[in-house]
Amino acid sequence: MTATMEKNNSDKYRGSFFKRFIRSVFSIKGAVMLCAAIVLVFSLYDFVILPRLDVWGATPGEIAMPLPGDALIPGNPVWKMNVAITIDATPEKIFPYFVQVGQDRGGFYSFDWLERFFGFGIYNTYTIQPQWQHLKAGDFVTFHKSGMGMRVHQVIPNRNITMITNGLEPNHPLPQGKWEMLLTPLFPREKGDYVAWNWDFNLFPLPDGKTRIVVRCLASAKGNALSIFFFKHAFALPSDVMDIEMLKRVKGLAEENHP
């Protein structure tokens, strides 16, 4: 009987606490405080966290310099990412890891457990596999197990890999079962809207046998402001986090100290 009474009292307390919380949130004061908290958190993310991640490891010169994939993006970018790292290895030792990226190949050397949690079906491979060392322009790099990915625009051995998705160029052959994420519901082509973004890997040899890696993503879009806002903030943070982790792990692999 005592245990039942204690449980009932506990349930009543939780219920009353929940009711008080709901009433406080939906009061004028509570609504103002909730909105202020949302604005504060978003401002911290948009003006402090994201700008820092967008340029992780990159110098001002690297951020400003032209790279091969820049000319592929139409219009003015709505988002630009430059992440960079120095690796104590030659480009010839590093490049094979980037060549074999892909959901159905070597993965992306990032948080594959998190990528699997979101249904991407990615498993990283931390050794160089000869069967995945033949990437060329016109190939398709898969990101998701459903077949979504990007086209390869250019491969310069030991120097550059550039991938592109461009909603202004939707009519080109793709491998069976593969598709590009052009976000047509948010950016309808019949209105002249589009999204486009690239993924640009660049390896710069240094005099001491090291290599400077600069990875850039540019994204542009034409559409209503809400669609562009959603597009940018849906992709910016995950791209930053995953690319930064990729560079860290490739560094460890190329320097032969990855766990």
Closest CA to 49 of 233, 245, 221, 198: 233
Q: Helices 2-25 and 28-44: crossing angle, nearest 10°?
A: 80
Closest CA to 150 of 171, 120, 177, 181: 181
Q: Give pLDDT, residue 112.
A: 96
Question: Do 120 and 188 belong to one domain?
Answer: yes
| Total structural domains within the chain | 2
Question: Do 78 and 39 belong to one domain?
Answer: no
Q: Is the pLDDT of residue 32 over 70?
A: no
Are 116 and 84 in contact, with CB atoms under 8 Å apart?
A: no
Q: What CATH number does residue 244 fall under?
A: 3.30.530.20
Q: What is the mean pLDDT of the chain?
A: 88
CA dist., res. 39 & res. 83, Å (int): 27
Question: Do 28 and 68 belong to one domain?
Answer: no
Q: Give pLDDT, residue 57.
A: 97
Residues 6+ apart with CB under 8 A from 41: none
In a domain, 259, yes or no: no
- Under the banding of pLDDT at 50, 70 and 90, the label for residue 5 is very low
Question: Do 226 and 100 belong to one domain?
Answer: yes
Percent of the chain with pLDDT over 90: 72
In a domain, 236, yes or no: yes
Question: Do 113 and 236 belong to one domain?
Answer: yes
Question: Do 79 and 207 belong to one domain?
Answer: yes
In a domain, 140, yes or no: yes
Tell me which of 33-37, 224-228, 253-257 is least confident: 33-37
- Under the banding of pLDDT at 50, 70 and 90, the label for residue 121 is very high
Structure tokens at 211: 């290599």
In a domain, 21, yes or no: yes
Question: Do 29 and 80 belong to one domain?
Answer: no
Question: Do 73 and 93 belong to one domain?
Answer: yes
In a domain, 185, yes or no: yes
Q: Give pLDDT, residue 258.
A: 80
Question: Do 60 and 38 belong to one domain?
Answer: no
User: Averaged over 90-100, what is the pLDDT?
Assistant: 98
Question: Do 94 and 182 belong to one domain?
Answer: yes
User: Averaged over 178-194, what is the pLDDT?
Assistant: 92
Q: Give pLDDT, residue 119.
A: 95
Maximal CA-CA distance, the chain: 81
> The domain containing residue 29 runs over which residues?
2-46
Question: Do 104 and 178 belong to one domain?
Answer: yes
Question: Do 111 and 231 belong to one domain?
Answer: yes
Local structure of residue 107 (DSSP, 8 states): B
